[in-house]
Chain A
């Protein structure tokens, strides 16, 4: 069973730039969620994708967008980067359903300077 993999592991960008983070979901999982974890806080829900469609969104501006592909892998895109976007970005895949636990990747550490 292949776990959730994220790339890159670390990234440094300049304010105003755009970034794309990638995630390969665990085999057999059709749902992908993205979370942002700022220092000292718990992971904050950004959005979830199911069958290539956004299926729920947290309190994040439209410059945070995503995609899910037919193989259930996913991308998180952030435009017009701000300093506050510096955080650990976690991808989690799961099966559809209330009781399905999230399977997380190791995250991408984004630093915006």
Chain B
């Protein structure tokens, strides 16, 4: 079982603020890391799939980086909007790539 930690647990920001969260995971046996966004009353939605050390992915105002050697990934949101309010989950896979080990998530609340 992978020990996945996400920080902070929750975040309250004003519209227009930029923010970032962290996902930490054991660096050994790493295969891939997924980021998901989970809005209230909806299902989790895949944001990024990252596999290589140094990977950087971008989708609109959201971007992510990956450091597999030290075991962390950052998610950045530039100019947060109320519609960005959601729980952001990271899920690395290690060893058996069929198993995803989710962190507890970072709950983001963007106030207009």
Contact = CB atoms under 8 A, between A and B. Distances in A.
Is the interface on chain B under 10, 10 to 19, 20 to 34, or 35 or more residues?
Answer: 20 to 34
Contacts of B46: 101-103
Contact of A99 (B6, B44, B49, B89): B49
Is the interface on chain A under 10, 10 to 19, 20 to 34, or 35 or more residues?
Answer: 20 to 34
Interface in B82-110: 89, 91, 93, 96-105
Given A99-B32, A101-B46, A102-B46, A43 B98 contact: no
B53 interface: no
B76 interface: no
Contacts of B32: 98-99
Nearest to A100: B49
A98 B51 CA distance: 9
A99 B99 CA distance: 12
For the complex, would chain B's binding face be called helix, strand, loop or mixed by DSSP majority?
A: loop
A56 B96 contact: yes
Contact of B98 (A35, A55, A59, A101): A55
Interface of B: 1, 4, 6, 31-32, 34, 36, 42-46, 49, 51, 89, 91, 93, 96-105
12 contacts: A41-B104, A42-B89, A45-B102, A48-B99, A56-B96, A90-B43, A90-B44, A92-B44, A99-B32, A102-B34, A104-B45, A105-B43
Given A48-B99, A90-B43, 18 more contacts: A33-B98, A33-B100, A40-B104, A42-B4, A42-B89, A55-B98, A56-B98, A58-B99, A59-B1, A90-B44, A92-B44, A98-B51, A98-B97, A102-B36, A104-B36, A105-B43, A106-B42, A106-B43
